């Protein structure tokens, strides 16, 4: 698995994926279409996660999947592992389903799930992307423990999160996440950013091989990719 920082998608690749998010009529909102293009062209998140999942065939559960962009980018990268995305936001799940159908994505499913009330049954790999910072400390622990329990042998827990290291990037990340909540795009406000050593300690205590790699590209955010693998 490469430790090099991933790059965002180029304009053509981003536009190709974004077409699935165009409105059904010419009078419909093109917000998601433009958002998807901007996200994919500026943020190395999804290429970085594709790198982390390449080489595994374990089914993937995407916790807090939003519009389901991970499914699109994995398929565009030739990664065909079974994918299921869950999110508490029913509106985003509806849009995710519609876009996946338009794009003809195979072996992809989406469900509305409130993880505060229930955990989906799963065995394989787990993705938690830009979610942990929105959870209270006790909910972060519960989420990590639940995800660890879902890992099959050879499965990977792939996390992207801002980290609390007291630096300028950490402060800007918190500010941007607050703006996302105030704009209505995010379902909740950021609660706490994990600390690297505490996160590493918890994952390694579960017997996982852990690697931290920056995943921020040219953005000002303090984003990191954490991959924890259950070997054997």
Question: Range of 120's domain?
Answer: 44-229
DSSP string, 128-188: EES-GGGS-HHHHHHHHHHHHHHBPTT-EEEEEEE---SSHHHHHHHHHHHHHHHTTSSSS
In a domain, 32, yes or no: no
3-state secondary structure of 38: helix
Q: Is the pLDDT of residue 106 over 60?
A: yes
The pLDDT value recorded for residue 172 is 73
In a domain, 82, yes or no: yes
Count CA within 13 A, CB hemisphere, residue 125.
Answer: 25
Q: Is the pLDDT of residue 29 over 70?
A: yes
Residue-wise pLDDT for 146-189, tens only, equals: 999 999 999 999 999 999 887 787 777 777 677 665 665 555 67
Give how many domains the chain has, as a whole number. Answer: 1
What's the CATH number where 120 sits? Answer: 3.40.50.150
What average pLDDT score do residues 108-133 get? 95
């Amino acid at each position: 698995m490469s430790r090099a920082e991933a790059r965002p998608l180029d304009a053509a690749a981003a536009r190709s994926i974004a077409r699935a998010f165009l409105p059904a009529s010419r009078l419909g909102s093109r917000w998601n279409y433009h958002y998807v293009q901007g996200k994919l062209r500026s943020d190395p998140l999804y290429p970085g996660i594709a790198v982390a999942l390449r080489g595994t065939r374990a089914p993937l559960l995407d916790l807090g999947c939003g519009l389901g962009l991970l499914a699109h980018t994995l398929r565009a990268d030739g990664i065909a592992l079974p994918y299921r995305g869950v999110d508490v936001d029913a509106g985003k799940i509806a849009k995710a389903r519609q876009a996946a159908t338009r794009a003809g994505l195979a072996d992809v499913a989406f469900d509305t799930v409130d993880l505060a009330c229930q955990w989906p049954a799963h065995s394989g790999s787990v993705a938690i992307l830009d979610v942990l910072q929105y959870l209270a400390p006790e909910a972060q622990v519960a989420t990590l423990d639940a995800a660890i329990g879902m890992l099959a042998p050879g499965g990977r827990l792939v996390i992207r999160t801002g980290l609390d290291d007291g630096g300028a990037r950490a402060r800007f990340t918190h500010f941007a996440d607050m703006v996302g909540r105030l704009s209505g795009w995010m379902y909740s406000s950021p609660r706490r950013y994990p600390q690297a050593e505490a996160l590493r300690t918890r994952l390694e205590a579960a017997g996982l091989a852990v690697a931290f790699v920056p995943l921020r590209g040219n953005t000002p955010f303090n984003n990191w990719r954490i991959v924890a693998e259950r070997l054997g």
